[in-house]
């Protein structure tokens, strides 16, 4: 078998519904690596919240964060294929008024070194927010003196995502990309135009001299669409959104909470 690049989304794919990496999944991924294949994480998460899984899997490969806005090698800061695409500062600041909507729980801007948060929503930090227990800076014009990697809008319910997404797209059009996902914290992530996970996966494949046909990608949400479409074998999770069916080559027989990724890898690679 030719060497494969296996690109794995985290939430809803590699992790179960409790945001945990199970022993079954961890074991399967390690066995794939032991066979000589490349496994890389491609997630909408920042590195700070995906680092624990990178370490748990004992990976030594590049990772794609922020839905493709940042592709880097955690163990090689001089990795030649890395890149970091930023969102224009003025656009980031102009998104702050969205916090006036009652359906918006929190707005944050993230860079490699800082997390800026909407002061109007500070009371939510300690109650289920993905930025709890992380040092933050108030998200203001005075404090944000850099172009961030992304702006995240956290909503009260997944039901509200289309409304907010349409408002943003109507205003900015093709200046930005909006990626969304559900789960415990329904989120809209706004990044620079053209950003997608497939960009990072392509760079990783080039680095390891792996052809597009030998890329296998797993995902479950709208932010995985281009990555699954780009891969030689694009696999959507059984629990994935219906929109992925038009580009997926295959579907796992089990959900993320039933070790669907591990079982698919076990069968495909004969682990």
CATH number for 259: 3.40.50.1000
Domain that holds residue 216: 5-84+195-268
Q: What is the CATH number of the domain that holds 97?
A: 3.30.1240.10
Last residue of a domain, one of 168, 192, 216: 192
**174 noted as active-site residue:** no
Encoded tokens for 96 = 């702050």
Which pLDDT does position 126 carry in this prediction? 40
CA distance 46 to 84: 12
- Same domain? 76 vs 203: yes
Residue with tokens 């591990």: 262
Encoded tokens for 49 = 């919240």
Last residue of a domain, one of 164, 192, 220: 192
- Same domain? 122 vs 188: yes
Edge-to-edge strands, sheet with 5-8 = 38-41, 5-8, 215-219, 233-236, 250-251
- Structurally, the chain folds into a number of domains equal to 2
pTM: 0.88
Catalytic member of 2, 9, 60, 113: 9
How do the pLDDT tens digits run along the chain, 271 residues long? 899 999 999 999 999 999 999 999 999 999 999 999 999 999 988 898 899 999 999 999 999 999 999 999 999 988 999 999 999 999 999 999 998 888 888 899 998 878 899 854 444 444 344 555 567 888 989 999 999 999 999 988 888 898 899 989 998 888 899 988 777 778 889 999 999 999 999 999 999 999 999 999 999 999 999 999 999 999 999 999 999 999 999 999 999 999 999 999 999 999 9
- Same domain? 78 vs 200: yes
Which pLDDT does position 132 carry in this prediction? 52
- Same domain? 72 vs 108: no
State the sign of the Cα–Cα–Cα–Cα dihedral 77, 78, 84, 90: positive
Rg from Cα positions in the chain:
18
Return the H-helix or E-strand segment holding 140. none
Last residue of a domain, one of 173, 192, 211: 192
């Amino acid at each position: 078998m030719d060497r494969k690049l296996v690109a794995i989304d985290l939430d809803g794919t590699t992790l179960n519904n409790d945001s945990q990496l199970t022993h079954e999944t961890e074991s399967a991924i390690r066995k794939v690596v032991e066979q000589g294949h490349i496994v890389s994480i491609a997630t909408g998460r920042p590195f700070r919240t995906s680092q624990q899984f990178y370490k748990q899997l004992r990976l030594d490969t590049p990772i794609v964060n922020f839905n493709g806005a940042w592709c880097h090698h955690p163990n090689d800061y001089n990795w030649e294929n890395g890149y970091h695409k930023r969102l224009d500062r003025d656009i980031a600041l102009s998104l702050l008024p969205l916090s006036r909507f009652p359906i918006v729980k929190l707005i944050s801007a993230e860079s490699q070194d800082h997390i800026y948060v909407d002061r109007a929503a500070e009371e939510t930090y300690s109650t289920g927010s993905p930025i709890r227990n992380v040092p933050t800076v108030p998200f203001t014009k005075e404090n944000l003196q850099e172009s961030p990697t992304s702006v995240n809008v956290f909503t009260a319910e997944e039901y509200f995502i289309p409304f907010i997404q349409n408002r943003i797209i109507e205003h900015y059009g093709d200046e930005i990309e909006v990626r969304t996902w559900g789960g415990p914290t329904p989120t809209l992530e706004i990044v620079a135009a053209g950003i997608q996970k497939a960009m990072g996966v392509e760079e990783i494949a080039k680095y390891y001299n792996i052809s597009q046909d030998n890329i296998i990608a797993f995902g479950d949400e709208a932010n995985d669409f281009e990555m699954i479409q780009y891969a030689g074998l694009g696999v959507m999770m059984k629990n994935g959104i219906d929109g992925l069916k038009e580009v997926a080559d295959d579907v796992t027989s089990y959900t993320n909470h039933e070790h669907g990724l591990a079982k698919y890898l076990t069968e495909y690679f004969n682990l």
